[in-house]
């Protein structure tokens, strides 16, 4: 069936909307993609919402969070409308929408994860069934609730040389290991572009380090990097996941703009290198998706610090910008077919399990 996937990621830069045709198993064909950026004001409100949610013992709506959820939902309605307009299809052609919402706090150690977004309102806007709240069921039984994309990565990577790895570089980084025998292992590796973006916004007055040009002019402060990598989270074995707010730019305060960008880029690369040590075999190749793949300095550091060939998934004919949104469309179809989206090797769930809540129009 035709399915739409929606992703508002930890980079907080906007909404990715993808239309695919899939059976939720071995077949998936990209049809259309649309990226809709958030304006600066909404990004600020969304960041404040995340900070407030992370400070809570349990999820609880307050006026700001409720207001931002309403805005977020309306923006997703607009993104779907734009996607349909660009694709040539109409709502009646689409079987389901996979709606990730936006993660405002991820606290699996406390037994909860929180993605805001009104699935019922989205379903009502188009008359299309919506599958949302895709992480909570996994966390409720002791899983990490993340990463969820590995099941889609495995479907796409069927013909790749194994063992292979797919690395997603959003605000947070996660890696999927696919063994020669189909073994699937996945977990968050640490920060990706989140801290680099924060640094460039706070110290450079620009949204991100375009192409890694700023980091390329800097020198990595290896002492500060070592201190950051000493966090016990990196030594902990998978499954594991992390919230974007767990690390801050405080560790590089006082450095020049260029040296800070270089050091934070090296932090991402070193985190991935540490993650590779947790895998049962070294991948023959790391295929990189997400916005971070456009950072040439980061990509070069990944290759240097892991000692593994690194390249963009675009070289495989995949769309590295659309991959996450496509994956949530794929998972929505799997939900309709009662197929699992998380596994013991990916989230630490006790068994393979489906997830999500169905909102019917």
In sequence order, what E strands does the chain have? Answer: 2-8, 14-22, 28-37, 96-107, 112-116, 130-132, 164-169, 172-178, 184-191, 285-289, 309-312, 357-359
Residues 32 and 123 in one domain: yes
pLDDT grade for 243, boundaries at 50, 70 and 90: confident
Same domain, 112 and 174: no
Confidence grade of residue 33 (pLDDT, cut at 50, 70, 90) = very high
Tell me: do 291 and 160 sit in the same domain. yes
Confidence of residue 10 (pLDDT cuts 50, 70, 90): confident
Q: What digits encode the pLDDT tens for the residues 127-179? A: 999 999 999 999 999 999 999 999 999 999 988 999 999 999 998 999 999 99
Co-location of 231 and 253 in the same domain:
yes
Question: Are residues 159 and 293 both part of a single domain?
Answer: yes
Do 209 and 329 fall into the same domain? no
Q: How far is CA 292 from CA 164, 197, 240, 250, in A?
A: 19, 10, 21, 21
pLDDT at position 245: 83
- Is 300 exposed, middle or buried (CB count within 10 Å of its CB: 0-12, 13-18, 19+)? middle
Tell me what pLDDT residue 97 has.
98
Once rounded to an integer, what is the mean pLDDT over residues 263-267? Answer: 98
What is the CATH classification number for the domain harbouring 203?
3.30.420.40
The total number of structural domains that make up the chain = 2
* Residue span of the structural domain in which 160 resides: 150-316
| Pairing of the two strands 309-312 and 357-359 | unpaired
Q: Which pLDDT belongs to residue 308?
A: 98
pLDDT digits (tens, 9 = 90+) for 283-297: 999 999 999 999 999
Which residue from 79, 98, 101 is spatially nearest to 9, judged by alpha carbons?
101
């Amino acid at each position: 069936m035709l399915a739409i996937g929606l992703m508002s990621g930890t980079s907080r830069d906007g909404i990715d909307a993808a239309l695919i045709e899939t059976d939720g198993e071995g077949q998936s064909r990209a049809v259309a993609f649309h990226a809709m950026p958030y304006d600066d004001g909404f990004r600020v409100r969304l960041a404040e919402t995340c900070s407030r949610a992370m400070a809570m013992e349990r999820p609880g709506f307050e006026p700001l969070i409720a207001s931002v959820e309403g805005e977020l939902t309306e923006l997703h309605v607009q993104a779907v409308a734009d996607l349909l307009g660009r694709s040539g299809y109409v709502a009646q052609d689409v079987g389901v929408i996979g709606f990730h919402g936006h993660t405002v706090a991820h606290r699996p150690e406390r037994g909860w994860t929180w993605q805001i977004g009104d699935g019922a309102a989205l379903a009502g806007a188009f008359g299309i069934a919506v599958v949302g709240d895709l992480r909570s069921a996994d966390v409720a039984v002791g899983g990490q609730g993340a990463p969820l994309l590995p099941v889609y990565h495995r479907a796409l990577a069927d013909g790749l040389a194994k063992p292979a790895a797919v690395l997603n570089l959003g605000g947070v980084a996660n890696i999927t290991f696919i063994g020669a025998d189909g073994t699937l292992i996945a977990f968050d590796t640490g920060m990706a572009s989140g801290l680099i973006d924060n640094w460039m916004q706070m110290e450079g007055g620009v949204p991100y380090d375009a192409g890694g040009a700023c980091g390329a002019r800097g020198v990595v402060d290896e002492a500060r990097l070592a201190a950051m990598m000493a966090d016990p989270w990196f030594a902990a074995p998978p499954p594991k996941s992390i919230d974007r707010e767990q690390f801050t730019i405080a560790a590089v305060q006082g450095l020049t703009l260029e040296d800070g960008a270089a050091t934070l880029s090296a932090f991402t690369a070193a985190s991935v290198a540490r993650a590779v040590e947790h895998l049962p075999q070294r991948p023959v190749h790391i295929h990189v998706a997400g916005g971070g793949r456009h950072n040439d300095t980061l990509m070069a550091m990944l290759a240097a610090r892991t000692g593994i060939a690194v390249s963009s998934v675009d070289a495989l004919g995949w769309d590295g910008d659309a991959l996450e949104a496509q994956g949530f469309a794929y998972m929505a179809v799997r939900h309709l077919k009662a197929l699992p989206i998380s596994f013991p090797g990916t989230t630490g769930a006790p068994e393979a399990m489906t997830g999500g809540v169905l909102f019917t129009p």
